[in-house]
Amino acid sequence: MDSPEASLFRDIVGAPAYMAGRASHIRGVVAAGDKLTIQLTRADPALLPRLAMPFFCAVPSDTPIDPNGVAVIPSAGPYTIRSNTPQGIVLIRNPNYHGPRPHHFDRIELSLNVQGPQAIRAVEDGAADYADGIEFNAVDDKGLAARYGAGSRDARSGDQQYFVDIMPELDFFTLNTHRPLFSHERLREAVNYAIDREALARLGDMWSPLPAAPFDHYLPPGVPGYSDVRVFGPKPDLKRARRLARSYAGATVVLYTCDYAPCPQQAQIVKTDLAAIGLHVRVEQFGSALFSRVVHPGEPFDMASVNWVADYPDPGDFLNTLLETPELMPTFRDAGAARELARAAELTGTRRYLAYARLDLKLATTAAPWVAFGDAYDRTLLSGRIGCRVYSPVYATDFAALCLRRKR
């Protein structure tokens, strides 16, 4: 699952040759019969989570390379694409699939680019069975939760239709340690204690105006290594924040953010929160140029609004990728943290996830390179006739596992 920023960053800064379709050959990959051998140039403990993602799939060797994409190719799963147009996708059962995954429907039709109110009406009227909450607004969310959500009469009778699931996503402000102000650990910690996370999360993020879950460390639910603990808490601790920031009173923080809701509103919250500990905030707002500015070396900002969605279910995709990749945001200048990140990245299995869980909390509480404030929710509305639902934070709804209710 790629974050919106990652796609924009690739558009802005470009992609390596092997990602851009210009490489003539991939070495170290051999397919012989039903065995695939991948030879790596270095150890990659996160390889298995990557291979389990939908973007790693078998395709025919003669699949054409088309910069506009290939509309229909065979599938290795229980369904295959019958047609693919800008209006929608039609899936039919794959006659060559004999695996254990469920496939209850003969045909699945997906309509694209349907606005929220239209999608909701279609499900409620029985013309559709599934609506994704990406187009819902706050009014939709409140009404659907009351009618079909976990606390509704339908849910109590076992017929819940509206689901709100947390995503492996992090909303946060990165603190630029390449600038003098936030090279100081005490001030980074002070800012973390001063922020009203509940107020920020209530406004959503730059990709959705729907409320998110307040969050205060770096590995979100759904990512191995996540810990269900609070570090700073959802509400500010101004007494502690003022004590830590006392030596920096009067300093100016340059905040980069987007120029559309809810970014300006969240910037005002940050401005008010940091004024309470003696810091002035100068807000600079940008459209799509925000991301190219954030990754530009020497860019004169101290704090920037960003977020990240898991590419694959591994903690290194959050901590190592975001703290050490200058093409995404300024790297974290801390030699000790870099050594610990490198050691964790070499581990496998349970030892890996336990190490990252400890490192997550240690970074958040002591080094504090980011101000995490929220995790996004994934909202789904199902029709009353759907009786099976399988959801996972990384893969979202499994359409192949949907089924109809038994008639009562």
> Over the chain (408 residues), what is each successive 10-residue block's mean pLDDT?
39 43 74 85 87 79 79 81 90 91 92 92 94 87 91 73 93 97 97 97 88 94 93 91 97 97 96 98 96 94 95 94 94 95 95 97 96 94 92 87 81
- Packing angle of the helix pair 238-245, 185-194 (nearest 10 deg): 160
Burial class (CB in 10 A: 0-12, 13-18, 19+), 238: middle
Q: Are 364 and 42 a contacting pair, CB within 8 Å?
A: no
Secondary structure (3-state) at 359: helix
pTM reported for the whole predicted model: 0.86
E strand spans, 225-348: 252-258, 280-286, 303-309
Which amino acid, 176? N
| Assigned superfamily of 169-375 | Dipeptide-binding Protein; Domain 3 (3.10.105.10)
Give residue 155's pLDDT: 65
What DSSP character marks residue 403?
Answer: E
What residues does each domain of the chain span?
169-375
Give residue 2's pLDDT: 42
Burial class (CB in 10 A: 0-12, 13-18, 19+), 176: buried
Give residue 350's pLDDT: 95
Q: Are 201 and 171 a contacting pair, CB within 8 Å?
A: yes
Backbone angles phi, psi at 36, to 5 degrees: -110, 125
Give residue 189's pLDDT: 97
